Amino acid sequence: MKQTFYKYQGTGNDFVMIDNRQHVFDKNNTERVKFLCDRRFGIGADGLILLEDHPEYDFKMVYYNADGNESSMCGNGGRCLVAFAKQLGVISNKAVFEATDGVHHASIDGEIVKLQMLDVDTIEKYENHVFLNTGSPHHVQFEIQIEDFDIKSKGATIRYGEPYNTAGSNVNFVKKQSDTTFRVRTYERGVEGETLSCGTGVTAVAIAMHYIGETQEKHVILNVEGGELEVCFDFENDTYNNVWLIGSATFVYKGSI
């Protein structure tokens, strides 16, 4: 059976998109998802996303990691899905959709998609890192030699180590470039390696940097391997709210497999 798919990328974080409003995709076929995301034998992607109907909102987002397992929120994936929804004619310039972590609002102007993320009211600060959940769990720590740092081995050690163990955490390595700009490289669980960009990751970094006093700004620029993202937020009553992830979401190609 042929499967029509669309390929999108957001600052190098790439996704296989499938219109599943007619329930054409077997959501329980983990091996099929893994195959489609495989860069040698399938299409190749960091994850696979289904767009489905929703009784109250514009659509529903169902996200799978490249390992075939349904996963937590993906910020760049959510932004790409908004662009996909516009291409399908499901939305015009604004969207409200449901993902695994709740309801999200978004807007699109050309290739720039703004996605509202979760409020964050719990941040754990340790001696050499910060941990928080921005829809997905994120470990954030500074790394001076970020350009030639072995992300895969160091990231895997942290991802599988204490206290994360089996559930694991995404791991972000950060270098400060200015009061408003940070360089970020991310080891992503489910991909089990570095991705060129991670939306929930840069959101976590921006909030963490403000929380520990590395920036006083509430509009932060994050330079990732695949380009540039922006995160803006408000901070009221010990809660980060009105959090927005901003960046490009680009259609790459359509095909069948």
Residues labelled as active-site residues: 74, 198
Instruction: Return d(Cα 238, Cα 242) in angstroms, integer.
Output: 13
Tokens of 113: 């998609």
Instruction: Return d(Cα 91, Cα 20) in angstroms, integer.
Output: 16
Instruction: Return d(Cα 65, Cα 49) in angstroms, integer.
Output: 9
Give residues with Cβ within 8 angstroms of 158, minimum separation 6.
Answer: 139, 164, 169, 171, 187
Tokens of 74: 């993906």
Give residues with Cβ within 8 angstroms of 162, minimum separation 6.
Answer: none
